[in-house]
């Protein structure tokens, strides 16, 4: 009689055989693709694209290009209205349109800064408009009657200065509304001011925002103007933000209209003058001038004469006599050559 252990299974089953042997697995991994290229595993590895989940692109490249074109129009509109408002030479140029986390945008702002929160009705959520301190105080100085000087030390705006710069912000809002008009009717309105960037929280720190940076010049002062729009705010209208839709809303001018415009411009008269310039004299010598006196000029007889159109020098020429009338020969170095007779 044989005693058996209680832990021993009297009915042992044979071990399960693997579906593929080691030789078969090795053969499969070394098999090339049907077209004779790399193995399938290597093909899959080459199709893998890197993606940073901390900085996702919420807006496609085509939509970013559409935003660039849209806000380039905004920059041109603002450049045409600011000189009349500030009574000084002013220019705005779009530099870049980028996607970045909101915390990175805040880290690039000066402290203190001129930061304004504005609504984009009917879209939900606010946007941020930031103006560099140098340009901010230059605009305030111009609106108060000064030459447009800026401060040597950066500081926050006072309540009175905030009221003064409201006129400039209204012009910015009007230019933005006009630029967005082909896509959607938006009403931009300043709803708050925050001098400290750390206290400005419109979205979570890791939320993706669209950062638009502009170069702005007011007189001799130069600085930047930035616009921060959260991507989540414009998600309802992202399908409209593509280059083809924007171009369809701005059709090209027909050749017939261009020809009609040129024909109308061709009938407009303008003054043409040939002037001898480049000499100076004292007031005493001018008072002593009389008939027959000679006034020596600063140029030679053979030097060309400036030809101006509406007081703007466009060509150089030479005075001649043509059919017993004074005429002007356009200099051969000019693109246009011919005779302009003077009555």
Q: How far is Cα 68 from Cα 64, in angstroms, rounded to an integer?
A: 6
Q: Cite the residue boundaries of each domain of the chain with CATH code 3.40.1550.10.
A: 61-256
Backbone torsions φ then ψ of 48, nearest 5 degrees: -75, 130
Instruction: Give the pLDDT score at 252.
Output: 60
What superfamily does domain 61-256 belong to in CATH?
CheC-like (3.40.1550.10)
Which 3 state secondary structure label does DSSP give 189?
A: strand
In order, the DSSP letters of 10-57 are: SSPPPPPPPSS-HHHHHHHHTPBPTTS-SBHHHHHHHT-----TTS--
For 237, other C-beta atoms within 10 Å of its C-beta total 14
What tens digit of pLDDT does each residue of 15-53 get?
555 666 777 666 666 654 444 555 554 555 555 655 555
Question: For residue 43, what are its two tokens?
Answer: 């093909």
CATH architecture of 269-289+297-341: Roll (2.30)
Instruction: Give the pLDDT score at 262.
Output: 84
Instruction: Give the pLDDT score at 92.
Output: 95
Where the chain has pLDDT below 50, the residues are 1-4, 10-11, 32-35, 41, 244-245, 248, 333-340, 342-343
Given the structure tokens 């926050």, which residue do they identify?
Answer: 156
Instruction: Give the pLDDT score at 319.
Output: 79
Count CA atoms closer than 13 A to 133's CA, side-chain side. Answer: 15
Residues 6+ apart with CB under 8 A from 90: 79, 82, 83, 216, 217, 218, 219
Q: Cite the residue boundaries of each domain of the chain with CATH code 2.30.330.10.
A: 269-289+297-341
């Amino acid at each position: 009689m044989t005693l058996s252990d209680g832990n021993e299974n009297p009915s042992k089953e044979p071990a399960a055989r693997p579906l593929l042997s080691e030789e078969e697995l090795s053969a499969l991994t070394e098999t090339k693709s049907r077209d004779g290229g790399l193995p399938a595993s290597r093909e899959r590895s080459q199709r893998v694209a890197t993606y940073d989940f901390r900085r996702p692109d919420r807006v496609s490249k085509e939509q970013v290009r559409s935003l660039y074109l849209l806000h380039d129009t905004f920059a041109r509109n603002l450049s045409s209205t600011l000189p009349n408002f500030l009574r000084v030479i002013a220019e705005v140029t779009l530099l870049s349109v980028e996607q970045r986390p909101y915390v990175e945008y805040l880290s690039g702002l000066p402290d203190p800064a001129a930061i304004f929160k504005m609504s984009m009705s009917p879209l939900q959520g606010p946007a941020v408009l930031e103006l560099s301190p140098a340009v901010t105080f230059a605009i305030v100085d111009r609106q108060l009657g000064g030459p447009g000087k800026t401060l040597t030390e950066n500081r926050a705006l006072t309540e009175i200065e905030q009221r003064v710069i409201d006129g400039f912000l209204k012009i910015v809002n009007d230019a933005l509304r006009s630029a967005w008009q082909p896509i959607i009717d938006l009403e931009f309105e300043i709803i708050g001011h925050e001098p400290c960037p750390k206290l400005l929280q419109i979205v979570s720190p890791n939320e993706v925002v669209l950062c638009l940076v502009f170069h702005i010049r007011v007189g001799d002062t130069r600085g930047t103007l930035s616009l921060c729009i959260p991507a989540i705010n414009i998600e309802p209208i992202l399908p409209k933000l593509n280059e083809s839709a924007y171009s369809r809303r701005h059709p090209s001018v027909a050749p017939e209209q261009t020809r009609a415009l040129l024909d109308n411009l061709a009938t407009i008269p303008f003054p043409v003058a040939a002037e001898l310039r480049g000499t100076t004299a004292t007031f005493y010598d001018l008072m002593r001038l009389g008939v027959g006196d000679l006034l020596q000029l600063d140029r030679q007889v053979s030097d060309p004469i400036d030809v101006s159109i509406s007081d703007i020098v466009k060509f150089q020429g030479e005075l001649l006599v043509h059919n017993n009338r004074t005429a002007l020969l356009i200099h051969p170095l000019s693109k246009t050559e011919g005779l302009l007779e003077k009555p």
